[in-house]
């Protein structure tokens, strides 16, 4: 560390440039390598990540952020938080026990997994319950020693803070959090004392839970935790790290007895800078300033960043300012280097983890030594950014015009639901409790191989199309034989529900190596919205029309909704997310029209990701939901009254957003309920929902075939709060991950269950 401005990294991607981390994990799980070889190869990967950051010139290099699966799981096992079902009796945590918690084994199911704040990274939820924490190993200390011995790096140990750890854990009543904290505090103290004794200078304590909002009790708990720690470990520099949104109230955080506070100046809506400007910065604290976007992939505007640094320097004393990405770089791919297929203008505008670190070092150097010395580098960055920004596809007049024209059109269906439902019933004449599925059918090895052959050019378009047609025809036959009432074409032509549309819309690009970790060894390669999104030509009409031509029963058209497309892509950062969602919605509106014109008059627009875009602070929810709902309506509200709009949601809890769901004004919604365990049903007791609704009657996430009685009781439970006239019967999500055999057996039981309930209730369509 120098006396000027220093740089720090908060965490580095684990997966490796060529996903070698993922491959190693999977090889170990498959029994292809033994534990010793696994561990030694993992060390090499870890070492390489450290050296990359060292060579980039980063002053404070994180250690302990590297993991075999997930950093929250690491923290849990470090404190011996292993649920009883794994038969753990204390002592070291064996590798296979660690993986059993993450993935389950023959004796015990895995721990629950959930989203890390508002990212697409998933962590393993610690189950604290009545367990007594014990320190099984000092993981950050081991990582510190490793970096020092192997790379000569005096790293900055990273550890999940106690406050955040407890907020993310389950198994104890929220009211007991202070008591639980008391059990963990001595262990945190011990970990930190050992780090101090080792000569560690700075420790990064991640406390992102702070940004979700602090009650008075939360503030008191934070004050208690950090007072205890600082009293027990005096002289160790703690960087209390927040990210993803503004840290508020900053007054309370500045009052904590820690030496540094890390703030996100990218995703805070300007609030952090406002607070620093208003309150000033204490002379005895260091500011970890998150100035580069740790969650997006764009080159930064270095002039703007230097201006931000200059602004911060007005408040923060020389030598107490550390520049860093806004969060761990876990959320971005490793390097742009391999993106040889992209045109230069676009490639130059990208910055993944390694490129971000280089930018950070350049900004710090320019701030320390003067911009003149780095004039050439700064000019080059300015130039490529200007070139990228000037791309005509990023400022299309036709898209702007359409957006404007749309604003003048009514934002509602031609008839309100209460009237629509009548004309729709007249048109469709569906039986009571109609049965249907969510859209996809098994993506068998055969389907995946066919797509691969087509992508590689081994199969021509015609051959591939023929193959897909035969899959569709088979699926239609199967559905008719099962006796389902509303059919789907099966989505055999789609790999991924966002990528499929991205490839067919203007404004998207695809990287070849832009992978990020989603959970465990699972990586995703989000498509990139780099320009204005626009409709080019029909995307789904061909398959839907073909499926419909094979049957008299209705076949639902199947689209991914605007908010889900947005939330599962990397998005350009010069427009608001709301504006980009509006463009996608407009493009989908064209697709909906194309389907309708082709005679597809039941159209499902899936929004599984609508909830995960929710801002972390409750006060910002309404604004987000407002534009998210608006985007859905833009895509769908122009159809004829008789056209039935469906939607589907899953992966989250929806009980606290029923009003917004209703405002989307879809005629029918299907929602996953297996995760929220009936809570959703309870919320319908309290809130009015009048539209068609299918609460998944069985969990598709397991290969188990549910028996008829399970489903009849699920249906009957739901019918206690929902009208029989509005209820639909369907599984709780798409079936693409299942095999055909279990799918057919389960759907057969589902149709049977629907028949039984129909008979029993003696109900008929009014
Ligand atoms: N229609 C999609 C499918 O069935 C929905 C997927 C999802 O909900 N994530 O696969
Ligand atoms: Zn789903």
Q: What would the pLDDT profile of 252-278 be if each residue is shown by its tens digit?
A: 999 999 999 999 999 999 999 999 999
- For residue 272, the model assigns a pLDDT of 98
pLDDT at 766 over 60: no
- For residue 682, the model assigns a pLDDT of 82
- For residue 679, the model assigns a pLDDT of 74
Q: What percent of the chain has pLDDT over 70?
A: 99
Atom 1, ligand 1: which residue's CA is nearest? 439
- For residue 674, the model assigns a pLDDT of 64
Q: Which ligand is nearest to the CA of 733?
A: 2
Q: What would the pLDDT profile of 268-307 be if each residue is shown by its tens digit?
A: 999 999 999 999 999 999 999 999 999 999 999 999 999 9
Q: Is the CB of 731 under 6 A from ligand 1?
A: no
Q: What share of the chain is helix, strand, coil (3-state, %, to 5)?
A: 45, 15, 40
Q: Is the CB of 329 under 6 A from ligand 1?
A: no
Decide which of 3.90.1200.10, 3.20.20.210, 3.90.1150.10, 3.30.420.40 is the CATH code for 397-761.
Answer: 3.20.20.210
Distance CA 525, CA 297 (A): 12
Report the residue among 563, 734, 735, 747 best suited for mutation to probe ligand 1: largest number of ligand atoms under 8 A from its CB.
Answer: 734
Q: Which ligand is nearest to the CA of 489?
A: 1
Three-state secondary structure call for residue 145: helix
Give the contacts of 464 (CB within 8 A, at least 6 positions apart): 450, 451, 453, 454
Q: In this structure, how many other beta carbons lie within 10 angstroms of the beta carbon of residue 652? A: 19
Q: Is the CB of 558 under 6 A from ligand 1?
A: yes
Q: What would the pLDDT profile of 544-590 be if each residue is shown by its tens digit?
A: 999 999 999 999 999 999 999 999 999 999 999 999 999 999 999 99
Q: Where are the domains of the chain?
A: 397-761
- Which 3-state string (H, E, C) describes 634-673? HHHCCCCCCCEEEEEECCCCCHHHHHHHHHCCCCEEEECC
Q: Is the CB of 7 under 6 A from ligand 1?
A: no
Residue pair 751/479 in contact by the 8 Å Cβ criterion: no
Residue pair 365/374 in contact by the 8 Å Cβ criterion: yes
- For residue 297, the model assigns a pLDDT of 98
Q: What would the pLDDT profile of 366-406 be if each residue is shown by its tens digit?
A: 999 999 999 999 999 999 999 999 999 999 999 999 999 99
Q: Is this prediction's pTM over 0.85? A: yes
pLDDT at 591 over 80: yes
Atom 5, ligand 1: which residue's CA is nearest? 734
- For residue 185, the model assigns a pLDDT of 98
pLDDT at 110 over 60: yes
| Mean pLDDT calculated for residue range 653-657 | 85
Sheet holding 62-63, edge to edge: 6-7, 321-325, 286-292, 260-264, 237-241, 202-206, 156-160, 62-63
Relative to the CA of 733, which ligand 1 atom is closest? 8
Buried residues in 81-98 as b, exposed as e (16+ CB within 10 A): bbbeebebeeeebeeebb
- For residue 765, the model assigns a pLDDT of 60
pLDDT at 151 over 90: yes
Relative to the CA of 439, which ligand 1 atom is closest? 4
- For residue 672, the model assigns a pLDDT of 86
Active site residues: 701
Relative to the CA of 440, which ligand 1 atom is closest? 4
Q: What would the pLDDT profile of 601-647 be if each residue is shown by its tens digit?
A: 999 999 999 998 999 999 999 999 999 999 999 999 999 999 999 99
Q: Is the CB of 438 under 6 A from ligand 1?
A: yes
Q: What would the pLDDT profile of 167-195 be if each residue is shown by its tens digit?
A: 999 999 999 999 999 999 999 999 999 99
- For residue 763, the model assigns a pLDDT of 63
Q: What would the pLDDT profile of 415-425 be if each residue is shown by its tens digit?
A: 999 999 999 99
Relative to the CA of 736, which ligand 1 atom is closest? 10
Q: 557 - beta bridge partners? A: 603
Q: What would the pLDDT profile of 672-708 be if each residue is shown by its tens digit?
A: 876 555 678 888 888 889 999 999 999 888 888 999 9
Report the residue among 490, 491, 671 best suited for mutation to probe ligand 1: largest number of ligand atoms under 8 A from its CB.
Answer: 491
- Residue 547 tokens read as 């499926």
| Mean pLDDT calculated for residue range 405-434 | 96
Higher pLDDT, 652 or 511: 511
Q: Is the CB of 732 under 6 A from ligand 1?
A: no
- For residue 677, the model assigns a pLDDT of 54
Confidence of residue 762 (pLDDT cuts 50, 70, 90): confident
Give the contacts of 190 (CB within 8 A, at least 6 positions apart): 135, 138
Residue the block writes with tokens 């919605």: 585
Tell me the average pLDDT of the chain: 96
- For residue 27, the model assigns a pLDDT of 98
Atom 6, ligand 1: which residue's CA is nearest? 734
pLDDT at 47 over 90: yes
Q: Is the CB of 650 under 6 A from ligand 1?
A: yes
pLDDT at 490 over 70: yes
- For residue 676, the model assigns a pLDDT of 54
């Amino acid at each position: 560390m120098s006396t000027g401005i220093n740089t720090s990294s908060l965490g580095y991607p684990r997966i490796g440039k060529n996903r070698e981390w993922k491959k190693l994990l999977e090889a170990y799980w498959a029994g292809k390598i033994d534990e010793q070889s696994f561990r030694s190869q993992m060390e090499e990967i870890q070492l390489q990540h450290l050296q990359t950051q060292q060579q980039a010139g980063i002053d404070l290099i994180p250690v302990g952020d590297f993991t075999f699966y997930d950093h929250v799981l690491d923290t849990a096992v470090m404190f011996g938080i292993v649920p009883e079902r794994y038969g753990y009796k204390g002592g070291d945590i064996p590798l296979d026990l660690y993986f059993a918690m993450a993935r389950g084994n023959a004796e015990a199911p895995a721990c629950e997994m959930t989203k890390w704040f508002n990212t697409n990274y998933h962590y393993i939820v610690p189950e604290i319950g009545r367990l007594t924490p014990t320190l099984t190993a000092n993981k950050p200390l081991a990582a510190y020693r490793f970096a020092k011995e192997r790379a000569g790096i005096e790293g900055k140990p990273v550890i999940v803070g106690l406050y955040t750890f407890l907020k993310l854990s389950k198994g104890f009543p929220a009211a007991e959090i202070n008591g639980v904290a008391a059990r963990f505090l001595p262990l945190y103290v011990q970990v930190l004392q050992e780090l101090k004794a080792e000569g560690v200078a700075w420790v990064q304590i991640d406390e992102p839970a702070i940004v979700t909002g602090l009650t008075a009790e939360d503030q008191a708990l934070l004050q208690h935790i950090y007072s205890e720690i600082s009293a027990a470990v005096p002289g160790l520099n703690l960087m209390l790290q927040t990210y993803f949104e503004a840290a508020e109230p900053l007054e309370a955080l500045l009052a904590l007895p820690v030496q540094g506070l890390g703030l996100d100046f990218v995703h805070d809506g300007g609030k952090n800078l406002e607070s620093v400007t208003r309150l000033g910065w204490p002379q005895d604290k260091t500011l970890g300033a998150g100035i580069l976007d740790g969650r997006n992939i764009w080159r930064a505007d270095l002039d703007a960043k230097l201006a931000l640094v200059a602004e911060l320097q007005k408040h923060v004393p020389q030598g107490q300012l550390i520049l860093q990405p806004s969060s761990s770089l876990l959320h971005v791919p490793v390097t742009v280097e391999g993106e040889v297929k992209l045109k230069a203008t676009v490639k130059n505008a990208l910055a993944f983890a390694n490129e971000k670190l280089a930018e950070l070092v350049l900004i710090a150097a320019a701030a320390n030594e003067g911009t003149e010395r780095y004039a050439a580098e700064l000019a080059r960055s300015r130039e490529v950014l200007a070139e990228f920004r000037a791309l005509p596809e990023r400022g299309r007049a036709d898209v702007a015009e359409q957006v404007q024209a749309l604003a003048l059109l009514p934002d509602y269906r031609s008839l309100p639901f209460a009237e629509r439902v009548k004309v729709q019933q007249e048109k469709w004449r569906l039986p009571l409790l109609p049965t249907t599925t969510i859209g996809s059918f098994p993506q068998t090895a055969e389907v995946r191989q066919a797509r691969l052959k087509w992508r590689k050019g081994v199969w021509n378009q015609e051959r591939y199309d023929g193959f897909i047609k035969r899959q569709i025809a088979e699926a239609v036959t199967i559905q008719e034989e099962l006796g389902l009432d509303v059919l789907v074409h099966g989505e055999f032509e789609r790999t991924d529900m966002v990528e499929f549309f991205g490839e067919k819309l203007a404004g998207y690009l695809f990287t070849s190596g832009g992978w990020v970790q989603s959970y465990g060894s699972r990586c995703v390669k989000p498509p990139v919205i780099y320009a204005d999104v626009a409709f080019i030509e029909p995307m789904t009409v061909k398959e839907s029309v073909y499926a419909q031509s094979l049957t008299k029963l209705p076949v639902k058209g199947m689209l991914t909704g605007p908010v889900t497309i947005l939330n599962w892509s990397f998005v350009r950062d010069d427009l608001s997310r709301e504006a980009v969602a509006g463009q996608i919605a407009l493009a989908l509106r064209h697709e909906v029209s194309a389907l309708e014109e082709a005679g597809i008059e039941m159209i499902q627009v899936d929004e599984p990701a609508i909830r995960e875009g929710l801002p972390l602070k409750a006060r910002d929810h309404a604004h987000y939901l407002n534009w998210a709902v608006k985007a859905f309506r833009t895509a769908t509200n122009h159809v004829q009254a008789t056209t039935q709009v469906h939607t589907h949601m899953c992966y989250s809890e929806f009980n606290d957003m029923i009003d917004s769901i209703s405002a989307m004004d879809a005629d029918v919604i299907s929602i996953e309920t297996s995760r929220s365990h009936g809570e959703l049903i309870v919320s319908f007791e309290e809130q009015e929902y009048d539209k068609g609704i299918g609460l998944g009657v069985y969990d598709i996430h397991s290969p188990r075939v549910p028996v008829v009685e399970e489903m009849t009781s699920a249906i009957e439970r739901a019918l206690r709060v929902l009208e029989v006239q509005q209820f639909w019967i369907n599984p709780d999500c798409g079936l693409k991950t299942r095999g055909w055999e279990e799918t057919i057996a389960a759907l057969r039981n589902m149709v049977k269950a629907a028949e039984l309930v129909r008979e029993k209730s003696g109900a008929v369509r009014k």
